[in-house]
Chain A
């Protein structure tokens, strides 16, 4: 009798576990289905951009869409490159991006070093004050800065695109935290050896915080690539126009009867550098972004 009960119990248990197994499988399938569906939705705009950019206008305008171009039109890309004068836009953006990144790195490193390693009166108050300015939306600064740069005679120059944004309190904060993690003993040892502060900064601190510096570089370059509002306000001439602005300018109409294949080719060309950077430097981008909470 007791044996029987035990066997029945065991059978029940087996039933239970197999039931759980099946349930687990179902849940797993559902989870994958959900993720893949969301992934497809997320990727769809990119696919549609590429698909549309390779079609002829007639094919794009078919009332039943084709999901792969019948006739692959690489010429759309050449046309887009010309129509938006992308060459010039890329060049301008590269100049602004590179110069502002280099200068910004120098300024950030010097300030972060002062805040992390040097002693001076009012250090903590000054640092807290800087952090407080991060709360203020950028638009508040733009109103006055627009007047300031006009008075400086900087309108329609590279300077106006570079100088006002060289200092980022956030980058200083990020790098200072990194510098603080480097043990103080190293600094004191260097002092005893008679190494100057500047030499120590270049030989020890910068190499040790290279990952943070790379993150800052990428975020800054992406910022230049994506900036739109300020360049439109202060440097919207053909000679200095940057890529986002130029794209919007070259294709003013988004609705109605637009030559979408060429427009999408231009969009793809503008997006390509960002994707290339992402593919090669994914780790640094994700690390930098997760600490920043800012978009480009």
Chain B
């Protein structure tokens, strides 16, 4: 009450405080939303041609073209595969690690820091380290005039345990091998955030539930599935949703491992993602196509998020 009395004399004051943010938001956020939707519905829109005075028909041509475009389908496939493997795997692993971390006393702080370390990294830089670990120097098939050189530390470990080395990312590698490397890297990268959130959740769970279970002689597995997971379900829902959003926007970790060719030497672009497709379209001045792809990406993220919110409303126990 008093507050509004003081302020009512200067209603314009708030707008002065807000003006820098609002001006920038208008130019770099609001206008792009309007313009991207506009370009998406102008068939074959290209910035260069528009400057040249060309006009474009209004319609959904960009969307139908993008969805028929083989490259886009491949990008979408890669994105979806990566998402649907990495999110469950990293969530399960993070849950196990968090529960384990929460149950110990000694070394807890130290291990917590260790598990957070991958977060403070540059995903391009550490991607290069992963590439080095999987890379084979020299010919994989060991032709005679090729030097026999390192097969990469991962293959060394596999051979040490009696397995056969795999061509992970080099010339002639398989799609499955490429995806495996990406999954390992992305899971490694995704763990710290998930552990941070889940451990935070576990530490705020009321100890009484566990004490009661102990008195009742409940088994560890039952405690885990009947107490820990339900009480933690809001945090689990949170890391799964943010995981999917991040997964749909995956791009730089692939650049980290494969470079800008987005695939092994003999198959450039094989691992390209939806975000990569948008940037490629932008680079070739196909703003119409890029906008349509961006809206499709937004739509997919929205659908998955709403679906998960719906599911968690039914299953999450608050």
* Residues of A near any B CB (own CB < 8 A): 27-28, 31-32, 34-36, 38-39, 41-43, 45-46, 48-49, 52, 60-65, 106-108, 110-111, 113-115, 117-121, 123, 130, 133, 135-148, 163-167, 169, 172, 184, 187-188, 191, 197, 222, 225-226, 228-229, 233, 243-244, 247-248, 251-258, 260, 263-264, 267, 270-271, 274-275, 277-278, 282, 285-286, 289-290, 293, 295-296
Contacts and interface: CB of A to CB of B under 8 A. Distances in A.
B33 interface: yes
Contacts of A31: 100, 103-104
A43 B135 contact: no
Interface residues of B, number: 107
A5 B16 CA distance: 86
B114 interface: yes
B8 A119 contact: yes
8 contacts: A38-B97, A45-B130, A107-B21, A147-B287, A172-B21, A229-B279, A263-B128, A285-B119
A139 B128 contact: no
Interface in B220-236: 220
A257 B152 CA distance: 11
B312 interface: no
B116 A286 contact: yes
The B contact surface, by secondary structure, is: helix
Interface string B234-265: 00001000100110110110011111100011
Contacts of A285: 119-120
Contacts of A143: 32, 36, 39, 278, 282, 287, 290-291, 294
Contact of B6 (A191, A258, A282, A295): A191
A139 B188 CA distance: 24
B13 interface: yes
Nearest to B294: A140
Interface stretch (B52-60, B69-77, B82-90, B191-199): B191-199
A114 B12 CA distance: 11
Contacts of B4: 119
A165 B105 CA distance: 42
A290 B201 CA distance: 11
A245 B154 CA distance: 27
B25 A42 contact: no
Contacts of B255: 228, 248
Given A42-B117, A270-B125, A34 B111 contact: no
Given A43-B117, A61-B149, A140-B294, A254 B3 contact: no
B35 interface: yes
B24 A137 contact: no
Given A120-B14, A256-B135, 8 more contacts: A63-B149, A111-B18, A133-B29, A135-B305, A164-B28, A188-B2, A233-B279, A256-B171
Contacts of B197: 290
Contacts of A293: 193, 238, 242
Nearest to B114: A39
B128 A167 contact: no
A118 B14 contact: yes
A4 to B, nearest CB: 26
A52 B264 CA distance: 23
Given A39-B111, A48-B153, A140-B294, A118 B13 contact: yes
B316 to A, nearest CB: 17
A30 to B, nearest CB: 9
B212 interface: no
A252 B255 CA distance: 10
Contacts of A258: 132, 135, 137
A286 B196 contact: yes
A285 B196 CA distance: 11
B300 to A, nearest CB: 10
